[in-house]
Structures are given as C-alpha cells and as structure tokens.
Amino acid sequence: MTTVIITRPQPVVAQAAAVYQAAGLQAVQAPCFDVVTNPSVRAEWLRLPADVWVILSVHAMTHALQLAPDWQPPAATRVIAVGPAVVQAWQQRFSHPIDCHPAMNSEGVIELLQAAQPQSVKILTTLGGREAIRQHCMADAISYHQVNTYLLAPLPVEAALRPAFDDPSNAPVLTATSVGILQQLQASLSESLWAMVLTWPLVVGSKRIAQAAEQMGFSVIKQAASPRDAHMCQAVLAAKESLNRIAVCDECQSEFYEQSSKMTLLCPECAHWLYGHENCDHNFAKGRCKKCYWDGSETDQISSIKKG
Ligand SMILES: [Zn+2]
Ligand SMILES: [Zn+2]
C-alpha cells in the first residue's frame, strides 16, 4: 500500500488524512505547523471599514472570529475569498455575499480587485506569503490594511516520519500545500534525513510550490489541480501509477518497478548483489514482491555470489 505523508496544519490534518484513506492510501499525519490566534491583533482593527475584504484562508476567518466574536462586514463591503473552502466556511457563518475566482490563488484575487476597483482593501491572513496582492494594492494606490489573525507555530515532525526513514526501500509520497511547509520540514530535520526526504516523490498544490521544491532539490514533483485535499489525493494516485512503471531486469529477466531500484536496468535484488546497492526489503505475495515487483528469479551468477 502506498504511504502518503500529510503535512497540513494540525487543525485540519485529520480531515485531510481521511480523504486519502478513503482513496485506499495509507495516510501518515505529520503536521508541520499548529495554527494559533495572533495575540497582538486588536478587535478594532478587524472592525475598521474597507471597500473590499479579502480572506485568504479558513484559518484567517475563524481566528478573526476568535478575536472579535461579533465581527461582520458592513452591508456595502465586497468580500473576496481565495478559494471555495473559504466560501463554504463563510456561508456557514454569514449571509453576506462572497466571491471567489476559479484560479484559487493570489492572481485570481488580483483579477477580482481589478474589476472591483476599491479605494481600500483589508486582507485577513497570516505573516508572510501572498506578497503579490500587497504589491498590486501599492501599485494601484489602494489603501491596504493587512491583519494577521493567526500565526503558524512550527511543530516537530521527525517522530511522525520515523517509520518512513527506517524503511528506505519503501519511499512514501510527500504532500505539501505551501512553500512554508517544505521550509519547515527542512528546518526541523537533520541534513541526512532531509537528503532522504528529497528523494521522495512530492505532490504539491500549486505551480509556485513546485518551483520552490525544484530549487530545494526534489526530483520527482507532481502538481495537483489545486491545494484542496480531493485534488491533492487525485494527484497522489496519478503519481503512484507513474511510479509503478515496470522495467525488465537485464540480469534475472524479472520485471520490477523502475522506482524501486537505484539502477535503471537491474532489479533491486541484482543491483544489490552485483553492485552493492541497498536491496529491497522484499515482501512476497502471490510470487512477487509487493514493493519492487521482483518475481524471485535468480541467475547462476547471482546464486554463486550469494553462496560466497
Ligand atoms: Zn534482477
Ligand atoms: Zn522487493
């Protein structure tokens, strides 16, 4: 069974894992951040009027309500969400209309701002990120007020990843829905463990994350249609299929999963005995290893090497 590492923040990691599990994947919860209300935000800041409110995450909205439980937009305020998850959460709480662009990213928000032509914008978000929206407001002389309603508190992740580190022959699929998650993973792991993580196939939620991942040194990167759990899960399933591409071993003639061997023309078993590469920790069922697909074939040469 394919293992998927779910790195979404603590408050949503369990619901995300359930989506992957329902698709038949083994989901490991490894949240890189907890989400906490920003104690330095004053409720008055949230009530200051603005022509447009932009809500960049569900966390930004729920923590605004923690800070100011009676918070709600004045009637004439246009509210823009970054994506459908915010729209859904908003509609559960408010009857005030909310828009969202199908692109589900900063560029989409900017397009909606260009159409709305506001004098003032209030952005609900957290520290960092989404620089593009701020720059757009500066360039268009729109009064810009950013309220960081929540903060991301880094969490240690090594323990959750330990089983994956201990079984290097069975690489999991890593998922990341923000650049910050990848940065936090790198910061919290030793250099040698991070080097292992870089060899894992990675599924990301946007082009921006894919580009950052490539710069960090990931080699197998797949981009989901959006950072939503359902789309991320679809991309993991597609990645899994391409990872299970089958090759034929030049030595023993057995088929094997390309991804399971360090050598393109040899199965992990032959690559181990002929060249000393790490072998697969085989797990046989119905005459084939479930991990590398080797069928147990052995040439005379390999048999004699094994006998020493
Ligand atoms: Zn072989
Ligand atoms: Zn094997």
- How large is the C-alpha radius of gyration of the chain? 24
- Mean pLDDT computed over 203-232: 91
Residues near ion ligand 1 (Cβ under 5 Å): 249, 251-252, 267, 270
- Asked whether residue 184 carries a pLDDT value surpassing 90, the answer given is yes
pLDDT band, very low/low/confident/very high, at 113 (cuts 50, 70, 90): very high
| 24-57: pLDDT as tens digits | 999 999 999 999 999 999 999 999 889 999 999 9
Model pTM greater than 0.85?
no
Instruction: Scan for tokens 């003032």, then name that residue.
Output: 120
Same structural domain, 52 and 141: yes
Same structural domain, 285 and 191: no
Same structural domain, 48 and 68: yes
pLDDT of amino acid 129: 61
- Mean pLDDT computed over 224-247: 88
- Mean pLDDT computed over 281-291: 87
- Mean pLDDT computed over 92-115: 92
Q: Across all residues in the chain, what is the average pLDDT?
A: 92
- Mean pLDDT computed over 6-22: 96
CA 51 to chain centre: 33
Q: How many angstroms is it from 294 CA to the middle of ligand 1?
A: 7
Closest CA to 52 of 119, 135, 149: 119
Structural domain containing residue 133:
36-151
- Asked whether residue 307 carries a pLDDT value surpassing 80, the answer given is yes
Same structural domain, 126 and 52: yes
Look at the chain and report how many structural domains it folds into. 3
- Rounded distance, CA 193 to CA 235, Å? 25
pLDDT band, very low/low/confident/very high, at 197 (cuts 50, 70, 90): very high
Closest CA to 59 of 151, 145, 175, 134: 151
Concatenate the DSSP letters of all residues of 262-290 into one string: SSSSS-HHHHHHHH-PPPP---EETTEET
Residues near ion ligand 2 (Cβ under 5 Å): 280, 282, 289, 291-292, 294
Q: Give the residue from 222, 243, 264 where a domain finishes.
A: 243
- Asked whether residue 297 carries a pLDDT value surpassing 70, the answer given is yes
What six digits make up the tokens of 70? Answer: 């009676």
| CATH code for the domain of 108 | 3.40.50.10090
Q: Give the residue from 105, 125, 151 where a domain finishes.
A: 151
Q: Which residue has the higher pLDDT, 142 or 103?
A: 142
- Which residues pair with residue 289 across a beta bridge? 284
Q: How many angstroms is it from 279 CA to the middle of ligand 2?
A: 8
pLDDT of amino acid 16: 97
- Mean pLDDT computed over 149-171: 90
Q: How many angstroms is it from 267 CA to the middle of ligand 2?
A: 8
pLDDT of amino acid 264: 85
For residue 64, count CB atoms less than 10 angstroms from its CB and return exposed for 0-12, middle for 13-18, buried for 19 or more: buried
Q: Give the residue from 92, 117, 151 where a domain finishes.
A: 151
pLDDT of amino acid 161: 95
Same structural domain, 146 and 42: yes
- Rounded distance, CA 70 to CA 272, Å? 65
> Residues 32, 9: contact at Cβ < 8 Å?
yes
Same structural domain, 59 and 14: no
Angle, to 10 degrees, between the axis of helix 229-243 and the axis of helix 10-22? 50
Q: Any idea which of 37-41, 218-222, 270-274 has the lowest mean pLDDT?
A: 218-222
